[in-house]
Amino acid sequence: MQTYDLEENGLRGLNAALQAQNAETNRTRWEVVNPKGSHAIAVGLDAPIEVTVKGSTGYYCGGMNQQATVRVEGSAGPGVAENMMSGQVIINGDASQYAGATGHGGLLVIKGNASSRCGISMKGIDIVVHGNIGHMSAFMAQAGNLVVCGDAGDALGDSLYEARLFVRGSVKSLGADCIKKEMRPEHLEILKDLLERAGSDAKPEEFKRYGSARQLYNFDVDKSAAY
């Protein structure tokens, strides 16, 4: 186990050390102490390593992650796991706005609540939130799965493309072109797998599925008021 004191040794040293690891590294487990809400902790990783942050983080923790597993024992600030490609980011506490924004792959697990714009423009990432999510979540989401074990705020899935949204609790309102859809067996399979991997004991049957009505894909002058 490698322990890195962020307060003492600084952010650039941490990210340089983590980014220097590759598939053959034997330094596979890292612990970051004294994060104190710092920004850009453990970003741009590209190796199968495990990084545990002992506290809360600021902006963009785990951004652009590939292969690595990043765990935050506290809460995360805005833009956690932004543009993640693969690997896992797990937040024990809450996440601030635009968690998992533009993510292409991997799994983001938030054990508390996520605030506004969770999964905005997601492009293939899977996001599982054990608690609630805020307004404008999955705005313009293109691919991937957003699973919410609690409630969703206003304008869920506004201008959605092909991402799947699963919500167990209430949805305050649906955004433009987002509709409730039939839950088919293949969706229950996807949900079962994601909930298991995210450590949630929620039952797939308790969720409702939402997705795109596909009415806003192409410009249609008769629908201009809805754009």
User: Which residues in this chain contact other proteins in the complex, by CB under 8 A?
Assistant: 36-38, 56, 58-59, 75, 77-78, 93-94, 96-97, 115-116, 134-135
Considering beta carbons, is residue 65 or 116 the nearer one to other proteins? 116
* Of 50 and 73, CB closest to other proteins: 73
Q: Which amino acid is at 213?
A: A
Structure tokens at 4: 């890195």
8-state DSSP, 187: H
Residue closer to other proteins (CB basis): 151 or 162: 151
C-beta of 70: minimal distance to other proteins in Å? 17
The count of other CB atoms within 10 Å of the CB of residue 1 is 9
Rounded least distance, CB 96 to other proteins, Å:
6
Cβ closest to other proteins, residue 78 vs residue 87: 78
Smallest distance from other proteins to CB 94, Å: 7
**Does residue 108 contact residue 126 with C-beta atoms inside 8 Å?**
yes
- Cβ at position 112, least distance to other proteins in Å: 10
DSSP helix, strand, coil percent of the chain (3-state; round to 5): 15, 25, 55
User: Radius of gyration over alpha carbons of the chain, in Å?
Assistant: 18
**Closest CB to other proteins among 124 and 175?**
175
Closest distance to other proteins from the beta carbon of 113 (Å): 9
Contact (Cβ atoms closer than 8 angstroms) between residue 70 and residue 53: yes
Question: Could you tell me how far CA 125 lies from the centroid of its own chain?
Answer: 7
Which parts of the chain are beta strand (E)?
Answer: 2-5, 29-33, 50-53, 69-72, 88-91, 107-110, 123-129, 143-148, 164-167, 178-181, 208-212
Residue nearer to other proteins on the CB measure, 69 or 97: 97
The amino acid present at 223, given as its one-letter code, is K
Q: How far apart are CA 62 and CA 71, in angstroms?
A: 9
With H, G, I as helix, E, B as strand and everything else as coil, classify residue 99. Answer: coil
Between 134 and 175, whose beta carbon lies closer to other proteins? 134
Q: Least distance to other proteins from the beta carbon of 102, Å?
A: 16
Minimum distance of other proteins from residue 189's CB (angstroms) = 34
The Cα 132–Cα 153 span in angstroms is 8
